[in-house]
Structure 1
């Protein structure tokens, strides 16, 4: 199994968020908990689904990542784009910060 992180959309602002080891959500992919076993992935997904029930996030799923300089980097373009924020206006969102 490859390394994985768990992601979702935050219901308050619609941003992509990543599940941290302390089971809170972060907008920074570098803070995501990285797991390498199916059991650990299932445990993170279960935690994420509990937050769906509590109306904190929506659409929880696991993402394949590679570790680059100690930071998880999604291997699929779609997920890389989600980490950067909206692509239609670079003067808004995460790119502007």
Structure 2
């Protein structure tokens, strides 16, 4: 099993967010809490799916990631796009900051 993190969309503005170690949500994937193994991933998703979070985020789910040095990088292209923004206009999205 690969490493996984939980991602969702923040209801306030629709931005992609990641569950952090302190139970908050961050726009930066490098702040995400990493689950290693099925049990840890299931527990992480259960925490992110708590009913009280329905007013903060929507659609939490697990994504596969890999550690590349100090960075956490999604393994699927779809998640890379969600993390960084549009691939056709690098002056838009998170990569433009």
TM beyond 0.5: yes
What are the ranges of 5 or more consecutive residues in structure 2 without an aligned counterpart? none
| Structure 2 match to 1:61 | 61
CA distance in 1, matches of 2:92, 2:55: 26
What are the ranges of 5 or more consecutive residues in structure 1 without an aligned counterpart? none
| Structure 2 match to 1:24 | 24
Query: CA shift at 1:37, angstroms?
Result: 1.6
Indicate the RMSD between aligned Cα atoms, in angstroms: 1.8
Alpha-carbon displacement from aligned partner over 1:4-63 (angstroms, at most 9, x marks no partner) = 011000000101100011110000001111111211111111111116643111111000
Tell me, yes or no, if structure 1 residue 96 matches structure 2 residue 96: yes
| Structure 2 match to 1:45 | 45
Query: CA shift at 1:85, angstroms?
Result: 2.3
CA distance in 1, matches of 2:37, 2:43: 10
CA distance 1:38–1:27, shift in 2 (3 Å): same
| Structure 1 match to 2:34 | 34
